[in-house]
Amino acid sequence: MHWDRIGQGLAVIAGCLGLGWLGSWVGSEIVPAEGWEESFWSRFQYMFVFSVLIERSVEVYLNASRLNGDDRFVPEHKKSGKDATRTANIAAIVLSILVAVAGIRLMATLGEPVFDHWITSWIWFGTDIVVSAGLMAGGSVLFHEIAEVLRGGIGTLGSRFQSIEMTEEVSGLDERSAYTVTVTRTGDDTGKLEFSSGSVSLNETCYWDPGVKIASGTYVKCSKTRMKSKKDSVTGELRPGIYLPDAVVPGTDNHSIFIHEGKNPSWSDGCVVLDRERMMEMWNEITPSDGMNVTVKIVDA
């Protein structure tokens, strides 16, 4: 069976139906779901498994019912000329719709529109079934092709969704806050770190290695996280830190720049360090982890 052609056709149909319905009826803004990327890939993998099961089930049915035509080893003069394409399409679509109705659907992992009428709710639900069933009916070949495309584009989409989330945070539409950390470098290897949020207000001495200090400037989309290799001096767990994704050690390609605990400049390999207790106060105040919602300002006095 030509599963790649079947999948492409179904994908086109599903896409047209989905875009048409969404454009005509669901004209409201889609609110990205929290942690949508992880949920998306998890559901995508589930759907791939079901797609393979459906694909193999259809083949078993066609072979058992002798509808799958002749195999490649049958001599030309004995070929029956059977074509199972239509039967395979119908079987795959029916099974895929049943699986989608049962709950294995993809679009809901991305977010939900702000529904203002029950009709839009049902149309969104129906579109999700059509798109999800179309993908699963397309077979494993289609999934491989889609995965290759998404791996390149999902990062861009993720950045746009994160941008939407950050805009909502700043404008007060989200419970999560945007945070600012200001490091003023008053000496060669010492300065002041300022942070204020809720009941936490810091104006503390901080340090860095003067030989590999990062450039001054404003670093956006920083995140509360944990370092991958260094350990916390008290708990032994991975060390808490604030990651600056755009910061780089001068003269290198080292982007492993954090704000983390440290007693003096010797604790720094380009990072900004401060007393552990004050660091944990700030780190615990920031939510969520990996939220890309911290701005770090490095100022040379």
Same domain, 146 and 197: no
Per-residue pLDDT of 250-268, as tens digits, reads 878 888 899 999 999 999 9
Least confidently predicted of 28-42, 68-82, 225-239, 240-254: 68-82
Same domain, 57 and 134: yes
Same domain, 164 and 193: no
Is the predicted pLDDT of residue 215 greater than 80, yes or no? yes
Is the predicted pLDDT of residue 25 greater than 50, yes or no? no
Give the pLDDT band (50/70/90) at residue 149. Answer: low
Do 280 and 236 meet the contact criterion of CB atoms below 8 Å apart?
Answer: no
Based on its alpha-carbon atoms, the radius of gyration of the chain, rounded to whole angstroms, reads: 27
Same domain, 161 and 82: yes
The last residue of one of the domains, among 170, 203, 221, is: 170
Is the predicted pLDDT of residue 218 greater than 80, yes or no? yes
Same domain, 230 and 273: yes
159 compared with 117, residue with greater pLDDT: 117
The percent of residues in the chain predicted with pLDDT above 70, rounded, is: 63
Domain span at residue 188?
179-300
Same domain, 154 and 218: no
Same domain, 43 and 129: yes
Do 268 and 261 meet the contact criterion of CB atoms below 8 Å apart?
Answer: no
Number of domains in the chain: 2
145: its two tokens: 């092709």
Cα distances from 291 to residues 151, 175, 230, in angstroms, run 21, 13, 21
Mean pLDDT of 36-53: 77
Helices (runs of H) and strands (runs of E) counted in the chain: 6, 10
84 compared with 125, residue with greater pLDDT: 125
Same domain, 192 and 265: yes
Same domain, 155 and 200: no
The last residue of one of the domains, among 143, 170, 197, is: 170
> 191: domain CATH number?
2.40.440.10
